[in-house]
Amino acid sequence: MSTLEIRTLADVQASGDTRGVYIDQVGVGGLRYPIAVEGRDGNTQQTICEAELTVSLAAEVRGTHMSRFVEALHERRIGLSPHGVLDLTRHVALRLDAPAADVRLMFPFFVPRAAPVTGEEALLGIDCTYIARIAPGVTEINVGVRVPVTSLCPCSKEIADYSAHSQRGHVDLEVRQAAGQPELYPEDLLEVCDGAASAPVYPLLKRPDERHVTMLAYDQPAFVEDLARESAVALQADPRVASFRLEVSNQESIHDHQAIARVTWRRE
């Protein structure tokens, strides 16, 4: 097929539409792609994201051009800090000739973590999200993490003669960065989650470490409500945080369902 022939293929997407429905977001989702992410210390980490890239679509236009979203991510897949994702979002808007664009990248990010007594180190993966949005008058950068933690039930500790049930929980934070403030990184949010937990979780624990975290969790019991509030207090105290949504979910070891708590907050 010659270039001439390619150009003459009908562009159905560019045809008009009369139904009068503005589309908030249209694009691609569930796109798995290798990316390079910048962490707080400036180092780059190879990881794999699930990407969603969308633009708004005027009521008068029938369709968007899906291949350009993939091209945009392919071109800008290296050096993605939270601000880098904003640059990618601007690139998408430009490529698709759209007034508004959203990009959401979800990826595991690995941090070295030393066992608390022996100091032996291994890597802990946390789920991170970088989200950026541009629209007329709007420029937003959001950073999210989902961090596994240990929680130990204060009620169980209080009412039992000995021991208390503990379980794996997850703290999900999604933070909107305040304008004109230094960049917020997943490592910052990880510290918030660990600080709220009965104990952090570790990829590797030797016996003296296991002894330590067992007793630490018993010394710091926390309901889902406590995990939520401790996280909220820490985020409210950080001037880089414009607003946040958080969810805590405990995989109760005595039940087959979860205990959950949610808090949303916006700086006045």
- Chain positions 166 to 205 lying near a copy of itself, rule: CB under 8 A, are 166-168, 199, 201-205
Identity of the residue, 158 or 179, whose beta carbon is nearer to a copy of itself in the bound complex: 158
Identity of the residue, 61 or 183, whose beta carbon is nearer to a copy of itself in the bound complex: 61
Residue from 217, 241, 242, 244 in contact with a copy of itself (CB under 8 A): 217
What residues between 54 and 83 interact with a copy of itself by CB under 8 A?
54, 57, 62-64, 66-67, 70-71, 74
CA distance 183 to 77: 19
As measured in angstroms, the least distance from the Cβ of 41 to a copy of itself is: 16
Look at residues 80, 63, 73 and name the one whose alpha carbon lies nearest to residue 31.
73
Radius of gyration for the chain, computed over Cα atoms and rounded to the nearest angstrom:
22
As measured in angstroms, the least distance from the Cβ of 180 to a copy of itself is: 26
Report how many residues bind a copy of itself under the rule CB under 8 A: 107
What residues between 230 and 259 interact with a copy of itself by CB under 8 A?
230, 232-233, 249, 251-259
Stretch of residues binding a copy of itself (CB under 8 A), selected from 83-91, 130-138, 173-181, 207-215: 207-215
Q: Are 175 and 241 in contact (CB under 8 A)?
A: yes
> Within 13 A of 31's CA, how many CA atoms are on the CB side?
23
Identity of the residue, 27 or 144, whose beta carbon is nearer to a copy of itself in the bound complex: 27
Look at residues 183, 195, 172, 187 and name the one whose alpha carbon lies nearest to residue 241.
183
As measured in angstroms, the least distance from the Cβ of 192 to a copy of itself is: 13
The residues near 89 (Cβ < 8 Å, ≥ 6 apart) are 101, 102, 103, 132, 133, 134
CA distance 21 to 41: 45
